[in-house]
């Protein structure tokens, strides 16, 4: 019985840890998508509308 | 966890992005517009015969206010992206028992500046319009390599124990610069060198200011939302 409680507690803990790690990986991927679309995407409309900011922040965009 | 990261990063990204847009409009964008005068041929420096001189002075950002709306919006998007990286870093550090405070947020912001602006600037300084450069894809790859290596190195220096992490960090910090950024074997720039130098200095100073602001904002929202 005691063991079962322990196992359940460990399972719960690793679940929470995995969710935390997933959250971190998700956040990094979201950040990368935002950065790529605003800083590097080559589509003309994206490039022209963000042009001054890309120069000011030194993105290698053209 | 993801919600805590998302809300902190979005709030901090909006605040720092608007701040960055204002600082850039004041200190950097006028020089971008001045560089365009050379790009379009409205101004010429390095005259073939006679003196190379050209008029100095930037166009006003108030001449065409509409032009600055989209870059300002993109500034918010970029800083929200950077905020995701910073806050993900807070969460990762916290898993290993390093609590983030508002003051340590300032250091995180400075490290972001070193990673995303200062280290890449060593090989590819901020460039005015009217500065032809090499192919864009190799430069983007070099930029990405420099960012990943520098971020890893700073993480190792901050959180590593013993000599080995420091040694790896030093190797990672130097590697991109020993490999070297893609370069042309000829100078093609046709804007005044004084303007190009001033632009590069102002761009780095402005990003240093905005990155430290971003670090502070991220840490403030992160700790604030943690308490609630």
Q: How many domains is chain A partitioned into structurally?
A: 1
Q: Are the C-beta atoms of B204 and B116 separated by less than 8 Å?
A: no
Q: How far is CA B85 from CA A43, A57, B158, B219, in A?
A: 25, 17, 16, 12
Split at pLDDT 50, 70, 90, the class of A61 is confident
Instruction: Report yes or no on A61 lying in a domain.
Output: no
Tell me the shortest Cα–Cα distance from A20 to chain B, in angstroms.
6
Confirm whether A35 is domain-assigned: yes
Cβ atoms within 10 Å, residue A48: 10
- Nearest chain A residue to B85, by CA: A28
Q: Above pLDDT 90, what percent of chain B?
A: 77
Give which of A22, A55, A60 is closest to B128, Cα–Cα: A55
pLDDT for residue A36 is more than 70? yes
Find tokens 């390599």 and name the residue: B145
User: Considering only CB atoms, which chain A residues are within 8 Å of B206?
Assistant: 56
Question: pLDDT digit string (tens) for B36-74?
Answer: 999 888 888 887 677 788 888 899 889 888 899 999 999
For residues B179 and B146, what is the distance between their CA atoms, to the nearest angstrom? 10
Q: Is the model's pLDDT at A8 over the cut of 60?
A: no
Q: Detail the DSSP E strand segments found in B58-162.
A: none
User: Tell me, what's the pLDDT at A3?
Assistant: 57
Write out the residue range of the structural domain in which residue A51 sits.
2-56
Kindly report the nearest CA distance between residue A10 and chain B, in angstroms: 16
pLDDT of residue B86: 97
Task: Return the domain boundaries, chain B.
Answer: 1-46+65-131+189-228, 134-183
């Amino acid at each position: 019985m005691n063991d079962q409680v322990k196992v359940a507690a460990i399972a719960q803990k690793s679940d929470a840890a995995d969710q935390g790690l997933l959250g971190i990986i998700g956040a990094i991927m979201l950040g990368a998508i935002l950065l790529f679309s605003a800083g590097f995407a080559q589509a003309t409309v994206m490039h022209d509308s963000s042009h001054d900011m890309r120069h000011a922040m030194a993105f290698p965009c053209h | 966890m993801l919600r805590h990261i998302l809300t902190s990063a979005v709030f901090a990204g909006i605040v720092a992005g608007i701040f960055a847009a204002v600082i850039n409009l004041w200190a950097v964008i006028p020089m971008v517009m001045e560089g365009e005068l050379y790009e379009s041929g409205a101004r010429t420096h390095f005259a073939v015969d006679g003196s190379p001189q050209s008029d100095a002075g930037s166009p006003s950002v108030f001449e065409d206010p509409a032009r600055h709306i989209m870059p300002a919006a993109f500034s918010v998007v970029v800083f929200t992206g950077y905020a995701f990286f910073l806050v993900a870093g807070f969460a990762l550090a916290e898993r290993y028992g390093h609590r983030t405070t508002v003051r340590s947020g300032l250091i995180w912001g400075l490290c972001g500046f070193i990673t995303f602006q200062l280290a890449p600037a060593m090989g590819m300084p901020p460039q005015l319009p009217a500065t032809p450069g090499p192919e864009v894809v190799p430069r983007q790859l070099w930029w990405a390599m420099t960012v990943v290596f520098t971020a890893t190195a700073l993480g190792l220096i901050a959180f590593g124990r013993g000599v080995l992490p420091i040694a790896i960090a030093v190797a990672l910090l130097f590697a991109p610069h020993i490999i070297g950024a893609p370069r042309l074997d000829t100078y093609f720039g046709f804007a005044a060198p004084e303007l190009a130098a001033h632009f590069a200095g102002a761009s780095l100073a402005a990003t240093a200011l905005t990155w430290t602001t971003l670090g502070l904002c991220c840490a403030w929202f992160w700790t604030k939302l943690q308490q609630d």
